[in-house]
Every structure is written in structure tokens, then in C-alpha cells.
Amino acid sequence: MTTGDREPSLMWDGIFAIVLGFFLLMSLRSGLKVGAIERGPAAVFLGVYLQCWGLLFLASYFFPNRSYLLKGLMWLCENTSTPRGRWTAILWGAFAIIMGTIPVLQGLGLLAI
């Protein structure tokens, strides 16, 4: 069995769900509100949550057959993005990491926008 033929693992999907769920719940419990991002832990957790999505898009480029989530993200990049292709996973990953860095810096008080 080659690496390309690997069956997706539900274990990885469970790990991804736990990590993403943790950061989303922590941002909501910390007082995340709709509107401008304010300094505090809610912004930091939100930023890390967005960065985790970016890392998942990057992982989907390199390991698309490791989990069903990564396989689905790669399918989105290949079939629904414009332009289409595997490389758009890197583009979306970089975009999400950069967009997650902004609330992290604002939450830490290092960036005032």
C-alpha cells in the first residue's frame, strides 16, 4: 500500500475536532462578541482558532489522505476554489494564518487597528 492509497483515519478527525472545538469554545467563554476585536483572551483564542484552520489547509496539501477532513479541504480547493488546484490549499492556509495573527496581536495588545 502506497502513501497515496492510505485510508483516511477517524482518529485524526477526532483530534482536529477536539482542538478546533477547544479554541472556539474558549473564545466564546472568554467573552467573544460580534464587532471590533478587543484586547483580551477572547481575541487570542479566536486568532489561534483561525490559525488552526490555516494549518489544516496546509496539512491538506501535504497529507490529503490522512483524514476525511483533510481530504474534504483538498476537495474544496480542487473543485470549488477559483482558481482551482492543489496549490490553493497553500494559499488558503497562508490567508487563514495571517488573518488569525491579527486577532492574536490585538488580543495581546501588540497591534491597535
Angle at 12 between CA 2 and CA 74, to 5 degrees: 65
Residue 68 belongs to what domain range? 9-108
Q: For residue 86, is it within any domain?
A: yes
Quick one: average pLDDT of 69-86?
92
Query: What pLDDT, in 10s, does the model give residues 29-55?
Result: 999 999 888 999 999 999 999 999 999
Q: For residue 29, is it within any domain?
A: yes
What's the pTM? Answer: 0.89
Q: For residue 1, is it within any domain?
A: no
DSSP string, 4-35: GGPPP-HHHHHHHHHHHHHHHHHHHHTT--SS
Query: What pLDDT, in 10s, does the model give residues 59-70?
Result: 999 999 999 999
Q: For residue 92, is it within any domain?
A: yes
Q: For residue 4, is it within any domain?
A: no
Number of domains in the chain: 1
